C-alpha cells in the first residue's frame, strides 16, 4: 500500500468545528482515496509552535502535503465538492458547470 | 472629540522612544492597548512600528513580537538596517520575535465554517515565548486579500483587538489609507484608543513626511501635523520639544563680537541660548555684524553653523575678508561650517528638516541664519512664523545662541515687516542708513533685549579695514519712522 496523499488537519482544541472537520475528512477520504491516504491531526492548542511551519492562520486548515504542490483547504470541510477541488481530485470547471 | 481634550490620569503610556513622538503624545502610546497607524504606501508605517518595537526592547525592557504580513524577517531586517537597527541581533537575544504570516489566496480553498484561531495561537505562542509586552501587526489588512469571507475576517479582527487588550499588550496595527477613510477596511471602527496618520507628500519635487495624532482616547495630544524625518538615526518627529516651554535660560553672556555693541547690551553682550534678530535694509552691514559675532564665538573655541540663503559661502568669505573680518581661518579649523541653499529650492518643512539635521551633525554653539527674510518667499507669513518657532524651540533646547538677519524693504517700516517674527526674538537690533547733511551715516540701536538693561542710544558706526567700528555716542536720533526715540537706559523684563 502506497501513501499517495499525505494530509494534515490543523485544529485547536476539541471544538465542535474541529470534530466536524475530522469526521468530514475521514468520510471524504474513505470514499475517494481509500488505501491511498494518511491523515495526521495536529492540535495547536497542545502544540502551538507547529502553526508557523505550515503558515496556519485559519482553523480548521487541511494541508495536502503530498502530492506536491502544497494545497490548503480551510473550514470545516462541509462542502465535499470544494474539498475535492482543493485536493485536485476534481476539476475546477466541473463545479461551475454543475453549479 | 471632546474627550480628547480631557487628560485622564488613568491612561498609562508606553513610550515609543521616537524623538518628538513621545512629546506630541505626551508620553507615548496608550499602554496595553492597540494604536492604529495609517498611511499610504511608503509613508513610513513599518519603520515607525519597528522603531516602537526596537526601542521597547532596547530601552524599556519590553520585548516585542512583529507579525508581518508583507515581508519576511530577512527583508524586514534589510529594510531597517539603514536606520541602525539590527533585528537579527535582537532576535538572537530573544528581545524580538518576527513571525512572517504568508497568505496566498491561490493555494487556499475555503469550505465551511472557520475562524482565525490559528493566528491567535501563533501570536499567543510568540508572545509567551519571549514575554512580549509589545506587538506590531503589519499590515493586517493584507488578510482581506488572502481570505474571501470578509464577514468572518471582520468578526475575528474585532476579537483579536479585544484579545490584545485583555492580554494588556501595547500594539501598533498598521493599515493602508483608504480613499475617504483612515483604513481601506475601516479598522478605525475597531481600534478607537488611538489613531496616528502618516503622510508622504511630494509637492514641486519637494518631499515632506508628516505625522498627526488623529485621536487619543483619554489623553491630550498635539493636534497639528508635524514633519518627521527618517535617517540613519531612525525616525525623528519635529519639533523635538513642540509642546514644552522648558528651555533652560542660562545667565551666561556671550559677546556680540563688538565691545561697543556689548556695551549697549548691558555691558556684556547677548545671553547664551537666546535669539537675536538683526534687521536693516540692504547694504547696512548685517552680514558683517554677523561675521563679527561668529568671529568672537570661534575665537572662544565655539562651533558655528552659518546658514546662507542669499550668497554662496565663497562670496560671503571673500566679502568679509575685504570688510576686514577673516572667517576663513575658522572654516579651516573646523569651527565654522556653512550651509548655503536657495530658499526656493525646498519647502519650508524641508528647510526645517535640513537645518535640524545639520545642527544634529555639527553640534554648534552658535547658529546664524542670513537672511531669514528670504525664507518668507517660500511660504505664507503664518507658515514662516510657525517654522521659525520650531527652529528657535529646537535651538534653545540645545542651548544654541542664534542670530537671524532680516532684510527690510526700504519702503516699509521696520516694525510692520517684522512684527510677526520679532516676538520670537529675545534681542532685536536695528541697523539703518540715514542721510544727514548730504552724508550717509550708518546707525545701530537696540530696540529690545529681554532680561537685561540695554542702551536706548542710537549709535553711528562705520566700516574700517578691521570691520565695523561703533562711533562714540553723540546723541544721534533715530531716523523717522523706525522707532520712537527714547532716552537713557531702562530695564526691560
Q: Do A55 and B112 touch (CB under 8 A)?
A: no
Q: Which residues of A touch B110 (CB under 8 A)?
A: 73-75, 82
Nearest to B211 by CA among B12, B30, B37, B358: B37
pLDDT grade for B482, boundaries at 50, 70 and 90: very low
- Does residue B5 surpass a pLDDT of 50? no
For the beta carbon of residue B6, count every other beta carbon within 10 angstroms: 9
Q: Which residue range forms the structural domain that includes residue A76? A: 5-94
- Does residue B369 surpass a pLDDT of 60? yes
pLDDT of residue B379: 67
Residues B200, B207 contacting (CB under 8 angstroms): yes
> Taking residues B486-492, what's their average pLDDT?
46
Residue A70 lies in a domain: yes
- Does residue B243 surpass a pLDDT of 60? no
The partner residue sitting opposite A57, judged by closest CB among B103, B107, B112, is: B103
What φ, ψ does residue A22 adopt, rounded to 5°? -65, -45
pLDDT of residue B493: 43
C-alpha to C-alpha distance for A51 and B100, rounded to whole angstroms: 12
The partner residue sitting opposite B107, judged by closest CB among A45, A57, A71, is: A71
pLDDT of residue B221: 84
Residues B187, B215 contacting (CB under 8 angstroms): no
pLDDT grade for B346, boundaries at 50, 70 and 90: low
pLDDT of residue B39: 93
Q: Which residues of B touch A17 (CB under 8 A)?
A: 113-115
Residue A99 lies in a domain: no
DSSP string, B133-144: SEEEEETGGGHH
DSSP string, B395-442: HHHTT-EEEEEEEPPTTS-HHHHHHHHHTT-SEEEEEEEEEETTEEEE
Among chain A residues, the shortest Cα distance to B67 is held by A52
Averaged pLDDT of chain B:
85
**A3 interfaces chain B, CB cutoff of 8 Å:** no
B78 CB-near residues (< 8 Å, 6+ apart): none
Q: Do B125 and A49 touch (CB under 8 A)?
A: yes
**B121 interfaces chain A, CB cutoff of 8 Å:** yes
pLDDT of residue B124: 96
Residue A24 lies in a domain: yes
**B117 interfaces chain A, CB cutoff of 8 Å:** yes
pLDDT of residue A61: 96
Q: Do B118 and A76 touch (CB under 8 A)?
A: no
* First and final C-alpha spacing in chain B: 40
- Does residue B95 surpass a pLDDT of 60? yes
pLDDT grade for B489, boundaries at 50, 70 and 90: very low
Residue A84 lies in a domain: yes
**B107 interfaces chain A, CB cutoff of 8 Å:** yes
Residue A25 lies in a domain: yes
Q: Which residues of B touch A61 (CB under 8 A)?
A: 114, 118
Residues B204, B166 contacting (CB under 8 angstroms): no
Q: Which of A85-89, B6-10, B344-348, B441-445 has the lowest mean pLDDT?
A: B6-10
> Taking residues B60-88, what's their average pLDDT?
93
B329 CB-near residues (< 8 Å, 6+ apart): none
pTM: 0.70
**A22 interfaces chain B, CB cutoff of 8 Å:** no
pLDDT grade for B386, boundaries at 50, 70 and 90: confident
Higher pLDDT: B62 or A91? It is B62
B42 CB-near residues (< 8 Å, 6+ apart): B200
C-alpha to C-alpha distance for A47 and A12, rounded to whole angstroms: 9
- Does residue B7 surpass a pLDDT of 60? no
Residue B419, burial from CB neighbour count under 10 angstroms (0-12, 13-18, 19+): exposed
> Taking residues B67-93, what's their average pLDDT?
93
Q: Which residues of A touch B111 (CB under 8 A)?
A: 73-79, 82-83, 86
Q: Which residues of B161-186 are buried (b: 16+ CB within 10 A; e: fewer)?
A: beebbebebbbbbbbbbbeeebbebe
Quick: pLDDT tens for B149-208.
Answer: 889 999 999 999 999 999 999 999 999 998 888 888 888 888 889 999 999 877 655 567
pLDDT grade for B484, boundaries at 50, 70 and 90: very low
pLDDT grade for B2, boundaries at 50, 70 and 90: very low
- Going residue by residue through chain A (99 aa), what tens digit of pLDDT does each one get? 567 899 999 999 999 999 999 999 999 999 999 999 999 999 999 999 998 889 999 999 999 999 988 899 999 999 999 999 989 888 765 555 443
pLDDT of residue B247: 66
pLDDT of residue B325: 94
**Residue reference for cell 499517495:** A4
What φ, ψ does residue B334 adopt, rounded to 5°? 80, 10
How many structural domains are present in chain A? 1
Q: What's the CATH number where A40 sits?
A: 3.40.30.10
Q: Give the B window 134-153 contacts with A, CB below 8 Å.
A: 143, 147
* First and final C-alpha spacing in chain A: 36
What φ, ψ does residue B434 adopt, rounded to 5°? -125, 135
**A86 interfaces chain B, CB cutoff of 8 Å:** yes
Using DSSP's 3-state secondary structure scheme, residue B21 falls into helix
The partner residue sitting opposite B122, judged by closest CB among A51, A61, A76, is: A51
Residue B260, burial from CB neighbour count under 10 angstroms (0-12, 13-18, 19+): middle
**A89 interfaces chain B, CB cutoff of 8 Å:** no
Domains in chain B, CATH or no CATH each: 2-237 (3.40.50.300), 253-491 (3.40.50.300)
The partner residue sitting opposite B121, judged by closest CB among A20, A51, A71, is: A51
Among chain A residues, the shortest Cα distance to B123 is held by A48
pLDDT of residue B363: 94
Nearest to B396 by CA among B274, B306, B307, B278: B274
Partnered with residue B63 across adjacent β-strands are none
Quick: pLDDT tens for B223-235.
Answer: 778 888 887 778 8
**A7 interfaces chain B, CB cutoff of 8 Å:** no
Residues making up chain A, counted from first to last:
99
Q: Which residues of A touch B117 (CB under 8 A)?
A: 12, 44, 58-59
**A35 interfaces chain B, CB cutoff of 8 Å:** no
C-alpha to C-alpha distance for B456 and B101, rounded to whole angstroms: 72
Q: Which of A52, A57, A79 to mutate to test the interface with B (most CBs of B within 10 A)?
A: A57
pLDDT grade for B415, boundaries at 50, 70 and 90: low
The partner residue sitting opposite B124, judged by closest CB among A48, A56, A61, is: A48
Residue A89 lies in a domain: yes
Residue A65 lies in a domain: yes
- Does residue B245 surpass a pLDDT of 70? no
Q: Do A79 and B116 touch (CB under 8 A)?
A: no
Higher pLDDT: B78 or B179? It is B78
- Does residue B483 surpass a pLDDT of 50? no
Among chain B residues, the shortest Cα distance to A46 is held by B121
C-alpha to C-alpha distance for B118 and B121, rounded to whole angstroms: 5
> Taking residues B207-230, what's their average pLDDT?
85
Amino acid at each position: 500500500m502506497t501513501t499517495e496523499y499525505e494530509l494534515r488537519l490543523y485544529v485547536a482544541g476539541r471544538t465542535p468545528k474541529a470534530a466536524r472537520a475530522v469526521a468530514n475528512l475521514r468520510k471524504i477520504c474513505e470514499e475517494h482515496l481509500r488505501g491511498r491516504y494518511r491523515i495526521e491531526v495536529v492540535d495547536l492548542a497542545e502544540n502551538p509552535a507547529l502553526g508557523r511551519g505550515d503558515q496556519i492562520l485559519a482553523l480548521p486548515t487541511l494541508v495536502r502535503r503530498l502530492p506536491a504542490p502544497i494545497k490548503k483547504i480551510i473550514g470545516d470541510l462541509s462542502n465535499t465538492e470544494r474539498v475535492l477541488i482543493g485536493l485536485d481530485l476534481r476539476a475546477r470547471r466541473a463545479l461551475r458547470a454543475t453549479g | 472629540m471632546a474627550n480628547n481634550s480631557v487628560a485622564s490620569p488613568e491612561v498609562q503610556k508606553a513610550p515609543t522612544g521616537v524623538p518628538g513622538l513621545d512629546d506630541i503624545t505626551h508620553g507615548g502610546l496608550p499602554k496595553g492597548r492597540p494604536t492604529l497607524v495609517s498611511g499610504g504606501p511608503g509613508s513610513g508605517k513599518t519603520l515607525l512600528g519597528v522603531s516602537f518595537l526596537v526601542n521597547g526592547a532596547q530601552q524599556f525592557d519590553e520585548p516585542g513580537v512583529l507579525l508581518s504580513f508583507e515581508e519576511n524577517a530577512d527583508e524586514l531586517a534589510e529594510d531597517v538596517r539603514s536606520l541602525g537597527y539590527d533585528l537579527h541581533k535582537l532576535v538572537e537575544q530573544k528581545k524580538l520575535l518576527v513571525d512572517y504570516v504568508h497568505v496566498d489566496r491561490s493555494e487556499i480553498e475555503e469550505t465551511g465554517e472557520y475562524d482565525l484561531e490559528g493566528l491567535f495561537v501563533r501570536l499567543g505562542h510568540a508572545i509567551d515565548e519571549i514575554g512580549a509586552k509589545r506587538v506590531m501587526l503589519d499590515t493586517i489588512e493584507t488578510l482581506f486579500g488572502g481570505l474571501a469571507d470578509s464577514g468572518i475576517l471582520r468578526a475575528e479582527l474585532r476579537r483579536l483587538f479585544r484579545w490584545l487588550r485583555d492580554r494588556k499588550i501595547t500594539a501598533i496595527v498598521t493599515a493602508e489609507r483608504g480613499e475617504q477613510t483612515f483604513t481601506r477596511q475601516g479598522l478605525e471602527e475597531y481600534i478607537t484608543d488611538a489613531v496616528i496618520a502618516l503622510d508622504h507628500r511630494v509637492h514641486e519635487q519637494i518631499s515632506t513626511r508628516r505625522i498627526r495624532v488623529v485621536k487619543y482616547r483619554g489623553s491630550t495630544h498635539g493636534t497639528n501635523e508635524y514633519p518627521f524625518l527618517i535617517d540613519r538615526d531612525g525616525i525623528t518627529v519635529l519639533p523635538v520639544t513642540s509642546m514644552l516651554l522648558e528651555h533652560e535660560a542660562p545667565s551666561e553672556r556671550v559677546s556680540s563680537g563688538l565691545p561697543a555693541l556689548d556695551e549697549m547690551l548691558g555691558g556684556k553682550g547677548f545671553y547664551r541660548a537666546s535669539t537675536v534678530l538683526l534687521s536693516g535694509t540692504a547694504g547696512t552691514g548685517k552680514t558683517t555684524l554677523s561675521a563679527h559675532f561668529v568671529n568672537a564665538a570661534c575665537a572662544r573655541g565655539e562651533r558655528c553653523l552659518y546658514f546662507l540663503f542669499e550668497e554662496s559661502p565663497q562670496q560671503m568669505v571673500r566679502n568679509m575678508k575685504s570688510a576686514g573680518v577673516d572667517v576663513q581661518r575658522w572654516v579651516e579649523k573646523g569651527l565654522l561650517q556653512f550651509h548655503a541653499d536657495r530658499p526656493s529650492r525646498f519647502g519650508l518643512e524641508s528647510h526645517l528638516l535640513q537645518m535640524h539635521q545639520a545642527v544634529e551633525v555639527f553640534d554648534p554653539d552658535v547658529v546664524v541664519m542670513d537672511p531669514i527674510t528670504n525664507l518668507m518667499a517660500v511660504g505664507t507669513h503664518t507658515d514662516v512664523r510657525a517654522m521659525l518657532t520650531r527652529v528657535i524651540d529646537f535651538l534653545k533646547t540645545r542651548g544654541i545662541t542664534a542670530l537671524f538677519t532680516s532684510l527690510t524693504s526700504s519702503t516699509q517700516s521696520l516694525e510692520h515687516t517684522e512684527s510677526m517674527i520679532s516676538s520670537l526674538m529675545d534681542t532685536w537690533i536695528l541697523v539703518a542708513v540715514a542721510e544727514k547733511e548730504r552724508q550717509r551715516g550708518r546707525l545701530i540701536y537696540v530696540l529690545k533685549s529681554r532680561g537685561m538693561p540695554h542702551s536706548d542710544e542710537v549709535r553711528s558706526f562705520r566700516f574700517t579695514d578691521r570691520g565695523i567700528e561703533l562711533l562714540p555716542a553723540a546723541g544721534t536720533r533715530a531716523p523717522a519712522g523706525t522707532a520712537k526715540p527714547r532716552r537713557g537706559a531702562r530695564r526691560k523684563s
